Amino acid sequence: MLIESRPATDPEVDALVAAQQRELREADGGLDGQATVVHDGIRYLVVVDGGRVVACGGVQSLDAETGELKRMYVRPAYRGRGIARQLLSALEELAFQRGHSVLCLETGSYLPAAIGLYTSCGYQPIPVYGEYVHNPYSVCFAKRLPVAA
């Protein structure tokens, strides 16, 4: 398994983001208030297994101190193997390298597996922020990144 950087325009990143969005629409049952907002400036990492891109996630800068985790997704056939944890750790390192001391994220209240992953990795609930404020299904988390010794 290899984790590597890819541009936001990479077709394999596009395919994973599209799969993520389809799965989210199925999971939320078409809830009102859900919106897909496309952002510029996301730095993506992908997980490659056997030559196939099987997971992705990105970091977007919100401000000098804060990065936001975006589009975290693992193909269903690859779940349960620890890939999400490894990718999350790499994304935290990317955020730290970009100068962020805090990494925040938004997920859906209807995604208990995602919430479990984030809380088990040290993310704490925070108030809903930014574009998510008016979405009743949004839950947000943040983690202070460790300072290098």
54: three-class secondary structure by DSSP: strand
Averaged over 87-101, what is the pLDDT? 96
**All structural domains of the chain with their residue ranges:** 2-144
Reported as a single tens digit per residue, the pLDDT across 2-56 is: 999 999 889 999 999 989 888 888 876 655 544 445 556 899 999 999 999 999 9
Confidence (pLDDT) at 8: 86
pLDDT at 102 over 60: yes
Reported as a single tens digit per residue, the pLDDT across 44-92 is: 999 999 999 999 999 999 999 999 999 999 999 999 999 999 999 999 9
Q: Higher confidence at residue 40 or residue 144?
A: 144
Assign 3-class secondary structure to the chain. CEEEEECCCCHHHHHHHHHHHHHHHHHHCCCCCCCCCCCCCCEEEEEEECCEEEEEEEEEECCCCEEEEEEEEECHHHCCCCHHHHHHHHHHHHHHHCCCCEEEEEEECCCHHHHHHHHHCCCEEECCCHHHCCCCCEEEEEEECCCCC
Confidence of residue 124 (pLDDT cuts 50, 70, 90): very high
Tokens of 42: 């996301």
Confidence (pLDDT) at 127: 97
User: What global pTM score does this model have?
Assistant: 0.90
Confidence (pLDDT) at 129: 95
Confidence (pLDDT) at 33: 47
Which CATH number among 3.30.70.270, 3.40.50.20, 3.40.630.30, 3.30.930.10 corresponds to the domain 2-144?
Answer: 3.40.630.30
